[in-house]
Amino acid sequence: MNIGKLDRLVVIKQATFTQDAYGENIASNSTLASVYARFEFEKGKVGYEADTFIGTAPAKMTIRYRSDIQVSPKHYIEYNSKDWFIRSVEEIGRKEGLILRVEEKTTD
């Protein structure tokens, strides 16, 4: 992996849930890590779903290896003031790096 191509600073966020005095779940977000990544946009899709315009913007992100990233609604990436949901995690080599398939979903 060519580390010089990791030229975008992204923030890995983690959603945490706590309960208040009434037992209601309260969501809060915390920063898991700030890492440098290679960010490559891929072909997106647009369409209508339930009378709502929906566009998806998939991308491929390459970062150094981390063992604390999962494909779950709790983890997401913040880049360019937008939230990118992690769809898959692929390992490069023997813990050399990770390829994250991410997607930003927009609605109008």
Q: Radius of gyration over alpha carbons of the chain, in Å?
A: 16
Task: Report which of residues 56 and 79 the model is more confident about.
Answer: 79
For residue 100, the domain's CATH number is: 2.40.10.270
The answer to whether 30 touches 16, Cβ cutoff 8 Å, is yes
Q: By residue range, what is the domain housing residue 16?
A: 3-107
The structural domain count of the chain equals 1
Lowest mean pLDDT among 34-38, 73-77, 92-96: 73-77
- Predicted structure pTM score: 0.77
Per-residue pLDDT tens digits for 8-44: 999 999 888 888 888 888 888 889 999 999 999 888 7
Residue type, 62: T
d(CA 77, CA 81): 10
